[in-house]
Structure 1
Amino acid sequence: MSSLRAKIQDVFNEPACEQNRGKDAKARKKGCSKPLTPGAAAGGCAFDGAKIVLQPITDVAHLIHAPLACEGNSWDNRGAASSGPTLWRTSFTTDLTELDVVMGQGERKLFKAIREIKEAYWPPAIFVYPTCVTALIGDDIEAVCKRAAEKFGLPVVPVNAPGFVGSKNLGNKLAGEALLDHVIGTVEPDDAGPYDINILGEFNLSGEFWLVKPLLDRLGIRVRACIPGDARYLDIASAHRARAAMMVCSTALINLARKMEQRWDIPFFEGSFYGITDTSEALRQISQLLVKKGADPEILGRTEALIADEEAIAWTKLAAYRPRLEGKRVLLNTGGVKSWSVVHALMEIGIEIVGTSVKKSTVEDKERIKHILKDDNHMFEQMAARELYAMLSEQKADIMLSGGRTQFIALKAKTPWLDINQERQHPYAGYDGMVELVRQIDLAIHNPIWCQVREPAPWDCQPAVREELPRTKSETATLHAVQEFASTMADDFGEF
């Protein structure tokens, strides 16, 4: 536990983070994440964060050393996609019971599980995740993994991020530390070239990185490792021979990017593949970094030619949607890189941003939003469900873009909603992804169902009362006769 404590303090003291650099030594040790409330996940524990970062490594066996519930709650928690291996979709757990804990059988059971996985699947590596239970009872995960690696002849990587040590974001960074300590730099590639790059913090949600990779292929740029989206173990192990890196989500793996720059002189920048302008700028910066590292400067011209062609195609496609969406108001309830990159992307086609959440955004992200929106009046740290509902029900926004947890607020307010988070079904990265995002927004806003659901329900509509007309003499006589007959029948059959 002492080594884990030292690792956590090292992660908190992140010099690449501008917010951290502005703190004094005492405040820096507390880190950026709020402490967890006992019994509450607070958006995910450290174990969950580590699993998020590492599970998309598709050919690795991910073994959870814990009771069954830990694996059940964390499995398949992101919509990452794979172009090949499917081993990452198989759940592996030691399934500890109370008897195992009492009898001290945890380490023995873990070693046996590693052997079974190796004999049944022969993966290139096995990642082992301790959780709260196994960390509290003192199982020496690192010793077991070291012994198993020697015995079975394959890498067995301990990912020391039990849930109780902190938040999901801390778990993201501890996963990066595990890659640095046990994976990256362990394999020397025989095909390293001047156009090799790493992409960090890209999860390939709904396969959206596959919309970006063809652009890099056309420029002759090879992605040595995309960490973690659609990754392979050997690619990550040889990632130290890349010439440059792009960091997509700084809050998750900024420590990985900084330490790879320190150890192997791999410069990095933070960028985004959301939106036309940001995608073009990311391609430019990748080419510029490669040239600084020795690539032929002619790649800069080829990059500008590619950008010109792709932007012309994308703007032509988007022109059909501008008359239908220009002036529409969007409420963005998300965080991280999407809080600023999606804002910029939507404003490019004339959509108005009435509010954006910055709960999971870094200081740099917030500054970008201020620059894009020209003020911070549309930024909110956190908005309660009641406030979200009030804003939508008062029709201050035409659509809300958020994650699945707030979709029912929008639906209750009879407002269109689109999933922008990891559970989404459509890829939104790159030029084609931007066109798809706009198409989905147009479909949601102009869906004819909203005209129907906003109409009053039939049972809420009171029928108009028809003014009673005066009766004729014959009608009055008929009514009296019916009333006398009913009265007679009641007298005759009343005793029954």
Structure 2
Amino acid sequence: MSSLRAKIQDVFNEPACEKNRGKDAKARKEGCSKPLTPGAAAGGCAFDGAKIVLQPITDVAHLIHAPLACEGNSWDNRGAASSGPTLWRTSFTTDLTELDVVMGQGERKLFKAIREIKEAYGPPAIFVYPTCVTALIGDDIEAICKRAAEKYGLAVVPVNAPGFVGSKNLGNKLAGEALLEHVIGTLEPDDAGPYDINILGEFNLSGEFWLVKPLLDRLGIRVRACIPGDARYLDIAGAHRARAAMVVCSTALINLARKMGQRWGIPFFEGSFYGISATSEALRQISQLLVKKGADPEILGRTELLIAEEEAIAWKKLAAYRLRLEGKRVLLNTGGVKSWSVVHALMEIGIEIVGTSVKKSTIEDKERINQILKDDNHIFEQMAARELYAMLSEHRADILLSGGRTQFVALKAKTPWLDINQERLHPYAGYDGMVELVRQIDIAIHNPIWAQVREPAPWDCQPTAGEVRPRTKSETVTLHAVQEFSGTTAGDFGEC
């Protein structure tokens, strides 16, 4: 437990974080977690955050050493996609019971579970996650993993991030520490080249990264490891031989990027693949970093040619939507990198942003939003459901872009809604992803259902003397259904 405490303090003291650098030494040790309000949702624990970062590693067995509920609550909570192995979709847990805890059978049960996974699936590695229960009863996870690795001849990685140590974001960073300590650098690749890069904090939601990787392939740039989206264990083990890195979600893995730079001299930058100009800028910075690390400067010219070609194609496709969407008002209720990257992407085609949340955004994210919107009135730390409903019902936005938690607020306000968070079904990264995002917004806003649901119900209409208009087809169908259900007649209702 003392080693875990030291690791947590080290993660809190993150010099690559602008917000952390502005604190004094005492405040820096306290980290970024805010005190929780009794009765309020914490937004995920450290175990949940670690599982989010590591589960998309597709060929690894993820073993939860805990009672069954811990795994049930955290399994498959990201819509990441795999191009091959499906082992990560299998749920493994030691399923501790009260009797196991009382009788001290936890460590023995864990060792047995590792053996069974080895024999049944033969994975290159097994990641073991303790949770609150197994950490509190004192099971020595690291010792068990070390002994199992020696006996069974495979990597058994302890991910020491029990839920009680902190927030989901802390768990993200502890997952990065586990990769740094037990995985990265354990394998020397025999094909390292001057155009190898790492992508950190990319989860390949709905296969998003597959829209970006072909662009890198055309430039001759090889993704040595995408962590964690669609990753393979051996690729991550050899990730220390990459020449440059891009951090997509800095709040999750900025500590991993910084320490890989310190240990192996891998420079990194923070970027985004959301939006046309953001994607182009990311490609430029990747090429520039590679040139600084010894790659042929001719890649810079090829990158500009690729950008010009892809931007022309994307803008041509977007032209069909510009007239239909220009001036439409969008409210964003999300966080992190999407709080500014999606804002910039939508403004590129003339969509007005009436507000964006920054609840889970870093200081750097907020500064980027200020540079784009140039108006603090469009930025809110968080918005209660009641306030969100009031804003939508007053028609101050034409569509809400958010996660599934607030979709019913939009539906109650009879406002179009589009999923922009991890549960989404469509990929929005890269040039093609931007076109798809705009297409989905257009479909949502111009869906004819909204005109129908905003009409008053036939039984709420009041007749006006001397003015009678015929009912629409939908009103007639609805009225007949009500009559049949209630036993009323047409004369009991007025005309709209």
TM-score higher than 0.5: yes
In the other structure, the counterpart of 1:240 is: 240
Residues 368-413 of structure 1, C-alpha deviations (whole Å, 9 max, x = no match): 0000011211000011100000000000000000000000000000
Aligned-partner SS, 1:50: helix
Residues 407-452 of structure 1, C-alpha deviations (whole Å, 9 max, x = no match): 0000000000000000000000000000000000000000000000
Task: Give the 3 Å change call, closer, same or farther, for CA 296–410 of structure 1 in structure 2.
Answer: same
Residues 272-292 of structure 1, C-alpha deviations (whole Å, 9 max, x = no match): 000000000000000000000
Identity %: 92
Residues 85-142 of structure 1, C-alpha deviations (whole Å, 9 max, x = no match): 0000000000000000000000000000000000000000000000000001110000
Task: Give the 3 Å change call, closer, same or farther, for CA 221–464 of structure 1 in structure 2.
Answer: same
Measured in 1, the distance between the counterparts of 2:475 and 2:233 equals 93
Residue 489 (structure 1) shift:
27
Residue 471 (structure 1) shift:
29
Residue 462 (structure 1) shift:
3.1
Give matches, 1:362-377, under 5 Å: 362-377=362-377
Aligned-partner SS, 2:210: helix
Q: Which shifted more, 118-127 or 482-491?
A: 482-491
- Root-mean-square deviation (CA, aligned residues, Å) is 7.7
Measured in 1, the distance between the counterparts of 2:363 and 2:408 equals 30
Measured in 2, the distance between the counterparts of 1:316 and 1:183 equals 44
Runs of 4+ in 1 over 2 A off after TM superposition: 35-41, 462-496
Task: Give the 3 Å change call, closer, same or farther, for CA 482–175 of structure 1 in structure 2.
Answer: closer
Measured in 2, the distance between the counterparts of 1:406 and 1:227 equals 29
TM-score (norm 1): 0.93
Residue 300 (structure 1) shift:
0.1
Task: Give the 3 Å change call, closer, same or farther, for CA 39–164 of structure 1 in structure 2.
Answer: farther
Residue 483 (structure 1) shift:
29
Q: How many residues align?
A: 496
Aligned-partner SS, 1:318: helix
Residue 162 (structure 1) shift:
0.3
Residue 35 (structure 1) shift:
3.4
Task: Give the 3 Å change call, closer, same or farther, for CA 298–396 of structure 1 in structure 2.
Answer: same
Residue 460 (structure 1) shift:
1.2
Residues 201-240 of structure 1, C-alpha deviations (whole Å, 9 max, x = no match): 0000000100000000000000000000000000000000
TM-score (norm 2): 0.93
Q: Which shifted more, 471-480 or 394-403?
A: 471-480
Residue 34 (structure 1) shift:
1.6
Measured in 1, the distance between the counterparts of 2:26 and 2:340 equals 30
Measured in 2, the distance between the counterparts of 1:478 and 1:123 equals 58
Residue 37 (structure 1) shift:
5.0
Task: Give the 3 Å change call, closer, same or farther, for CA 455–237 of structure 1 in structure 2.
Answer: same
Task: Give the 3 Å change call, closer, same or farther, for CA 36–301 of structure 1 in structure 2.
Answer: same
Equivalent pair of 1:35/1:166 in contact (CA under 8 Å): no
Measured in 1, the distance between the counterparts of 2:390 and 2:266 equals 48
Task: Give the 3 Å change call, closer, same or farther, for CA 486–175 of structure 1 in structure 2.
Answer: closer
Measured in 2, the distance between the counterparts of 1:473 and 1:458 equals 12
Task: Give the 3 Å change call, closer, same or farther, for CA 455–120 of structure 1 in structure 2.
Answer: same
Give matches, 1:150-165, under 5 Å: 150-165=150-165
Equivalent pair of 1:34/1:167 in contact (CA under 8 Å): no
Aligned-partner SS, 1:201: strand
Equivalent pair of 2:461/2:495 in contact (CA under 8 Å): no
Residue 470 (structure 1) shift:
26
Aligned-partner SS, 1:474: helix
Task: Give the 3 Å change call, closer, same or farther, for CA 94–322 of structure 1 in structure 2.
Answer: same
Measured in 1, the distance between the counterparts of 2:4 and 2:477 equals 98
Equivalent pair of 2:458/2:475 in contact (CA under 8 Å): no
Residue 326 (structure 1) shift:
0.2
Residue 478 (structure 1) shift:
37
Measured in 1, the distance between the counterparts of 2:271 and 2:167 equals 24
Measured in 2, the distance between the counterparts of 1:226 and 1:18 equals 25
Residue 5 (structure 1) shift:
0.4
Aligned-partner SS, 1:377: helix
Equivalent pair of 1:329/1:354 in contact (CA under 8 Å): yes
Give matches, 1:105-144, under 5 Å: 105-144=105-144
Task: Give the 3 Å change call, closer, same or farther, for CA 482–5 of structure 1 in structure 2.
Answer: closer
Q: Which shifted more, 454-463 or 289-298?
A: 454-463
Measured in 2, the distance between the counterparts of 1:343 and 1:284 equals 21
Task: Give the 3 Å change call, closer, same or farther, for CA 37–186 of structure 1 in structure 2.
Answer: farther
Measured in 2, the distance between the counterparts of 1:76 and 1:477 equals 42
Measured in 2, the distance between the counterparts of 1:421 and 1:445 equals 18
Task: Give the 3 Å change call, closer, same or farther, for CA 117–485 of structure 1 in structure 2.
Answer: closer
Equivalent pair of 1:35/1:167 in contact (CA under 8 Å): no
Task: Give the 3 Å change call, closer, same or farther, for CA 492–343 of structure 1 in structure 2.
Answer: closer
Task: Give the 3 Å change call, closer, same or farther, for CA 36–120 of structure 1 in structure 2.
Answer: farther
Q: Which shifted more, 185-194 or 478-487?
A: 478-487
Equivalent pair of 2:410/2:417 in contact (CA under 8 Å): yes
Give matches, 1:43-442, under 5 Å: 43-442=43-442
Equivalent pair of 1:36/1:167 in contact (CA under 8 Å): no
Residues 246-300 of structure 1, C-alpha deviations (whole Å, 9 max, x = no match): 0000000000000000000000000000000000000000000000000000000
Task: Give the 3 Å change call, closer, same or farther, for CA 316–67 of structure 1 in structure 2.
Answer: same
Aligned-partner SS, 1:146: helix
Aligned-partner SS, 1:77: coil
Task: Give the 3 Å change call, closer, same or farther, for CA 463–111 of structure 1 in structure 2.
Answer: same
Task: Give the 3 Å change call, closer, same or farther, for CA 220–454 of structure 1 in structure 2.
Answer: same
Residues 430-489 of structure 1, C-alpha deviations (whole Å, 9 max, x = no match): 000000000000000000000000001122123457899999999999999999999999
Equivalent pair of 1:56/1:80 in contact (CA under 8 Å): yes
Task: Give the 3 Å change call, closer, same or farther, for CA 468–187 of structure 1 in structure 2.
Answer: closer
Task: Give the 3 Å change call, closer, same or farther, for CA 483–362 of structure 1 in structure 2.
Answer: closer
Measured in 2, the distance between the counterparts of 1:34 and 1:14 equals 17
Equivalent pair of 1:36/1:166 in contact (CA under 8 Å): no
Residues 281-335 of structure 1, C-alpha deviations (whole Å, 9 max, x = no match): 0000000000000000000000000000000000000000000000000000000
Aligned-partner SS, 1:197: strand
Task: Give the 3 Å change call, closer, same or farther, for CA 35–147 of structure 1 in structure 2.
Answer: farther
Measured in 2, the distance between the counterparts of 1:463 and 1:29 equals 69
Task: Give the 3 Å change call, closer, same or farther, for CA 286–486 of structure 1 in structure 2.
Answer: closer
Measured in 1, the distance between the counterparts of 2:476 and 2:441 equals 64
Equivalent pair of 1:203/1:228 in contact (CA under 8 Å): yes
Residue 32 (structure 1) shift:
1.1
